[in-house]
Amino acid sequence: MIIFSVVILILYTGLIGSLYWGFSKIKSFKVETLSNFTSFTVIIPFRNEAKHLPELLQSISELHYAEHQFEILLINDGSEDISEAIVTDFIKTQPQLQITLLQNKRVSHSPKKDAITLAISKSKFDWIITTDADCLLPKTWLDTFNNFIQQYKTCQFLVAPITYVTTTKFLNIFQWFDVMSLQGATLGGFGINTPFLCNGANLAYTKDAFYNVNGFAENDTIASGDDIFLLEKINEKFPESVKYLKAPEAVIYTHAQPTLSDLISQRKRWASKTKAYKNTFSKITGLLVLSMNALLICLFILMCFGDFYPIYFTIICVVKFWIDFMLIYKSAVFFNQKKALKWYLIIAILYPIFCTYVAVSSLFTSYTWKDRVFKS
């Protein structure tokens, strides 16, 4: 057992260490004053988001970008609350903006992908940017995307950073650590020329690239994955066109899940798509992360029953916790959110239980998302 544990630890340390190194290789992008402008279609699906839509819409109205250079397509995905009324009222008060409300009437296993596909078919501009209805957009958002696209002419798929709006609630802090590790891995993957993660809450791509890889075809039966599956397909066909926008001016803030039940459902939704990954590095990373976390639980149980020496368990924990902290710290510095790091040790102890539970339960149970039930 000791030999097996050491092998897993070495592989895991090598993985996280390479992502840490990759993170350091990606230089921060500096925004310049340009005279050329890219036209954008911003696509935002929503379902039962009456709580968050007012903040999102307010941030849209404050964007520092010429109104004729972008349009907003909001797609109602069968909302059962007053979300549609909120959007309709907002459109009336913002006649200077190009905002269109669409209705996603198709019923399928992947309604969000349907909503995005519908919006792309109605879009006026070649560059598509997707975000979510529970997000806050920085005023410099579109200008920063434009800056990068103008400087990197071959770019067709652009990944940008997201983080959580932070609060003092423990569940929020727990999720913040999770998203910091994911953002660190995302950046690290680009740094080692193996992009394997992205988030649809802050993602841009050209219509040509979308249609050249047949959009969401082949993955349209999976509820999640409107972001990563598209990344895999475009990176396979046009690897030089996939870039990361490492700029504070492009960071989008989103809200953490309000309850533990919602968090588990969200993570099970994310986990449900991993079996369809085609990227070998993604599969290896997911397997190693799960193996390392599950190993800690197994070793703790063995230690309690006297079949594993506490000193070995302690060493393995210290090494894992330290290498994880290094990557998370990198992310926290970039996002200027270091205050929550004081909770790291408690989160590090709890996370293996959460990670293992979500991975195992996603194989055998369904989950509820946006008041819809999906099979894993």
230: number of Cβ within 10 Å: 24
pTM: 0.93
d(CA 273, CA 225): 6
Selection from 161, 160, 135 nearest residue 149 by Cα: 160
pLDDT exceeds cutoff 70 at 25: yes
pLDDT exceeds cutoff 70 at 376: no
Helices 2-25 and 310-334 meet at what angle, rounded to 10? 10
What is the per-residue pLDDT for 241?
Answer: 97
What is the chain's percent helix, strand, coil content, to nearest 5? 55, 15, 35
User: What kind and span of H or E run contains 346?
Assistant: helix 344-364
What is the per-residue pLDDT for 95?
Answer: 94
Q: What is the pLDDT of residues 176-230, one digit of tens each?
A: 999 999 999 999 999 999 999 999 999 999 999 999 999 999 887 777 778 999 9
CA distances from 30 to 33, 100, 143, 309 (A): 10, 32, 12, 51
Would you list the DSSP string of 74-124?
Answer: EEE-S--SSHHHHHHHHHHH-TTSEEEEEE----SS-HHHHHHHHHHHH-S
Q: What is the pLDDT of residues 67-93, one digit of tens each?
A: 999 999 999 999 999 999 999 999 999
Q: What phi and psi values does residue 243 have, to the nearest 5 degrees?
A: -135, 165
pLDDT exceeds cutoff 80 at 343: yes
- Please give the share of the chain, as a percent, with pLDDT higher than 90: 82
Average pLDDT, the chain: 93
Query: By the 8 A CB rule, do 334 and 180 touch?
Result: no
pLDDT exceeds cutoff 80 at 371: no
Domains defined for the chain, CATH in brackets? 2-22+279-363 (no CATH), 28-259 (3.90.550.10)
What is the per-residue pLDDT for 364?
Answer: 78
